[in-house]
């Protein structure tokens, strides 16, 4: 299989008339392609057997006031070697139309609709040009990520109606659920089409509480935006703040001290641990198995109390900073962490045996909510959901960050793609996180926990960072602006790419199974609706 440099050369030769320029930025091959040829080049990169590039991120940048152009960037991950390759193209002056790649790559669908809403740029050839982020009550012509849109603008409200997709025929009816739910959860609308009991179609309608996070990043300096990153999705505080810090450190030429790298891995595994423990119990709860739910919640609470004792925050806020960490861990605290997770592993192993011995629970989980590997690949699904459907991916192993280059990770993977497979991935990762915490304790170096300040990045300099959060791969693109400010920060939580895939996992199931399937995905609304 080709590496990224070989792939870039292959594309340059195959599309000589389309590739305007080639370079390498932060080790990533970077090809500038003419706008008309982007769909062909992307299709070739995605489908050629030796490349098999998965679309990991697609975003736009408004370069005003420095330059009058919009830039589109397409980040692909090559399937075999997990190398990154970046395509880009430009719209100059007053151009507003760009060629859609969605007819070639399913994973581009939401990205291109988002670009249309936030920048007012139209993906020509896109099969679904309905609004995604800007609901119909938003005024026409309002595109918040354009540089001439002020962050503190107060918008009026207009009337409008979203056109849901319809399946027509005798006996077909729709069941709307949400966006307001009985539980204390975030808003999301799910519209089922059924004929009898099996689900024929599910259509999602999210983005009910858009917060303008990416616009708020543009009001921050590079060093001051960590608290904003922490609050994108509260249960992924470490994952998001670490991904942001790594991007800034790369631009500023900062080398994080070894001790800080190890402790960053420690905090990330603690975050993974308490979320997975809670999810194991919650999945069982949606089958009415209250015993497992109670014990999963009890163990999750013990980790969250441990987090608070170590850092002052149950969600590990205020720990990460550009250059390292804001607080250290003493040897005594490290011993307490190791002892507590060892006790929890013993507890969890007993619960695990009870769960696996329950035949009725197994019957409810197996073959429910199957997401086939091919569909997972087509939609660039990541994290727990992808690994449960057979995708061999984990950023900790594939693109090591923090201390994972010295802490080899065993990647849990199953091929059935059902609720039980997603449960088993979580169970395996709980044991692996506990093992990694033991490795960190055994090999934690002494020394400082924060590096000296780096250079001020020049305007236009950018970096991309990836972290394997507990849900999956978190991506950040950060571009420096004037006087140390942020010109553009693109955030991609794993939920943004996994939500569309759940529409396929429910097909053929019954509506009462949807809460169980949805919980086994356990996606973030706030991480999606920035």
User: Distance of CA 191 to CAs 134, 174, 519, Å?
Assistant: 19, 7, 17
Q: Considering the domain boundaries, does residue 153 fall inside one? A: no
Q: Considering the domain boundaries, does residue 529 fall inside one? A: no
**331: buried, middle or exposed (CB in 10 Å: 19+, 13-18, 0-12)?**
exposed
Average pLDDT on 418-437 reads 97
pLDDT at 88 over 90: yes
Domain that holds residue 64: 4-124
Q: What Rg value do the Cα atoms of the chain yield, rounded?
A: 23
CA distance 241 to 247: 10
Please state, as a whole number, how many other Cβ atoms lie within 10 Å of the Cβ of residue 318: 17
pLDDT given at position 125: 95
Single residue among 105, 124, 143 that ends a domain in this structure? 124
Single residue among 79, 103, 124 that ends a domain in this structure? 124
Contacts of 387 (CB under 8 A, 6+ apart): 393, 394, 411, 412, 413, 414, 425
Q: Provide the pLDDT confidence category of residue 180 given band limits of 50, 70 and 90.
A: confident
Strands (DSSP E) found in 342-496: 462-468, 473-480, 486-492
- Co-location of 376 and 249 in the same domain: yes
Residues in binding site: 214, 491
CA distance 296 to 303: 11
Backbone angles phi, psi at 320, to 5 degrees: -85, 145
Instruction: Give CA angle at 219 (218, 222), nearest 5°.
Output: 70
Q: Considering the domain boundaries, does residue 223 fall inside one? A: no
- Co-location of 95 and 242 in the same domain: no
Q: Considering the domain boundaries, does residue 201 fall inside one? A: no
- What would the pLDDT profile of 351-382 be if each residue is shown by its tens digit? 999 999 999 999 999 999 999 999 999 999 99
Q: Provide the pLDDT confidence category of residue 320 given band limits of 50, 70 and 90.
A: very high
CA nearest to 54, candidates 75, 30, 72: 75
pLDDT at 454 over 70: yes
Name the average pLDDT for the chain. Answer: 94
Backbone angles phi, psi at 282, to 5 degrees: -70, -35
DSSP 145: T
CATH number reported for the structural domain that contains residue 461 in this entry: 1.10.645.10
Q: Which CB contacts under 8 angstroms, 24+ apart, belong to 317-321?
A: 317/227, 317/230, 317/237, 318/227, 318/230, 319/238, 319/241, 319/267, 320/226, 320/230, 320/238, 320/241, 320/242, 320/245, 320/264, 320/267, 321/226, 321/245, 321/450
pLDDT at 331 over 70: yes
Q: Considering the domain boundaries, does residue 295 fall inside one? A: yes
CA distance 121 to 489: 18
- Co-location of 251 and 385 in the same domain: yes
Pair type for strands 69-78 and 53-62: antiparallel
Q: How far apart are the first and last CA of the chain?
A: 36
Single residue among 89, 124, 159 that ends a domain in this structure? 124
Q: Considering the domain boundaries, does residue 361 fall inside one? A: yes
pTM over 0.85: yes
pLDDT at 1 over 70: no
- Co-location of 103 and 244 in the same domain: no
Q: Which residue has the tokens 């109390």?
A: 305
- What would the pLDDT profile of 259-301 be if each residue is shown by its tens digit? 999 999 999 999 999 999 999 999 999 999 999 999 999 999 9
CA distance 128 to 119: 17
- What would the pLDDT profile of 467-511 be if each residue is shown by its tens digit? 999 999 999 999 999 989 999 999 999 999 999 999 999 999 999
Q: Considering the domain boundaries, does residue 117 fall inside one? A: yes
The two tokens of residue 212 are 């303008």
**217: buried, middle or exposed (CB in 10 Å: 19+, 13-18, 0-12)?**
buried
Residues in binding site for Mg(2+): 214, 491
How many structural domains are present in the chain? 2
- Co-location of 259 and 405 in the same domain: yes
- Co-location of 96 and 242 in the same domain: no
Q: Provide the edge-to-edge strand list for the sheet that holds 53-62.
A: 19-25, 28-33, 84-92, 69-78, 53-62
DSSP 147: T
CATH number reported for the structural domain that contains residue 91 in this entry: 3.30.460.80
Q: Considering the domain boundaries, does residue 218 fall inside one? A: no
pLDDT given at position 184: 75
């Amino acid at each position: 299989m080709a590496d990224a440099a070989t792939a870039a050369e292959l594309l340059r030769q195959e599309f000589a008339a389309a590739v305007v320029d080639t370079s390498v930025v932060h080790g990533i091959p970077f090809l500038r392609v003419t706008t008309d040829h982007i769909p062909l080049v992307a299709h070739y990169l995605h489908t050629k057997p030796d490349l098999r590039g998965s679309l990991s991120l697609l975003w736009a940048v408004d370069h005003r006031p420095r330059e009058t152009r919009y830039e589109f960037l397409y980040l692909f991950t090559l399937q075999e070697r997990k190398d990154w390759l970046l395509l880009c193209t430009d719209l100059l002056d007053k151009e507003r139309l760009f060629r859609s790649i969605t007819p070639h790559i399913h994973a581009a669908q939401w990205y291109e609709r988002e670009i249309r809403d936030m920048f007012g740029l139209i993906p020509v050839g896109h099969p679904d040009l309905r609004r995604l982020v800007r609901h119909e009550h938003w005024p026409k012509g309002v595109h918040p990520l354009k540089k001439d849109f002020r962050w503190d603008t107060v918008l009026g409200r207009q009337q409008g109606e979203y056109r849901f997709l319809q399946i027509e025929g005798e006996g077909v009816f729709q069941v709307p659920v949400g966006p307001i739910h009985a539980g204390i959860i975030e808003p999301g609308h799910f519209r089922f089409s059924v004929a009898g009991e099996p689900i024929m179609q599910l259509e999602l309608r999210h983005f009910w509480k858009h917060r303008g996070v990416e616009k708020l990043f543009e009001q921050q300096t590079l060093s001051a935006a960590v608290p904003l990153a922490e609050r994108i999705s509260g249960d992924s505080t470490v994952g998001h703040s670490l991904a942001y810090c790594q991007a800034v450190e790369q631009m500023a030429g900062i080398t994080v001290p070894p001790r800080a790298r190890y402790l960053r891995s420690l905090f990330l595994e603690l975050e993974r641990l308490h979320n997975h423990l809670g999810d194991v119990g919650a999945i069982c709860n949606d089958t009415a198995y209250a015993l497992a739910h109670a014990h999963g919640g009890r163990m999750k609470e013990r980790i969250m109390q441990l987090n608070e004792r170590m850092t002052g925050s149950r969600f590990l806020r205020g720990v990460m900073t550009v250059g390292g960490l804001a607080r250290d861990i003493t040897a005594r605290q490290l011993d307490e962490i190791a002892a507590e997770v060892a006790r929890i592993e013993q507890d969890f192993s007993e619960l695990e045996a009870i769960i696996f011995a329950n035949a009725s629970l197994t019957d409810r989980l197996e073959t429910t909510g199957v997401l086939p590997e091919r569909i997972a690949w087509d939609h660039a699904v990541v994290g727990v959901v992808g690994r449960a459907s057979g995708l061999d991916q984990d950023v900790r192993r594939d693109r090591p960050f923090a201390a994972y280059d010295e802490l080899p990770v065993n990647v849990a993977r199953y091929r059935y793609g059902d609720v039980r497979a997603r449960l088993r991935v979580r169970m395996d990762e709980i044991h692996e996180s506990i093992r990694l915490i033991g490795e960190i304790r055994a090999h934690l170096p002494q020394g400082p926990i924060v590096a000296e300040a780096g250079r001020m990045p020049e305007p236009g300099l950018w970096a991309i960072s990836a972290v394997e959060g507990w849900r999956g791969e978190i991506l950040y693109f950060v571009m420096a602006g004037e006087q140390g400010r942020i010109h553009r920060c693109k955030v991609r939580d794993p939920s943004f790419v996994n939500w569309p895939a759940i529409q396929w996992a429910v097909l053929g199931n019954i509506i009462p199974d949807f809460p169980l399937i949805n919980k086994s995905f356990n996606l973030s609304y706030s991480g999606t609706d920035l």
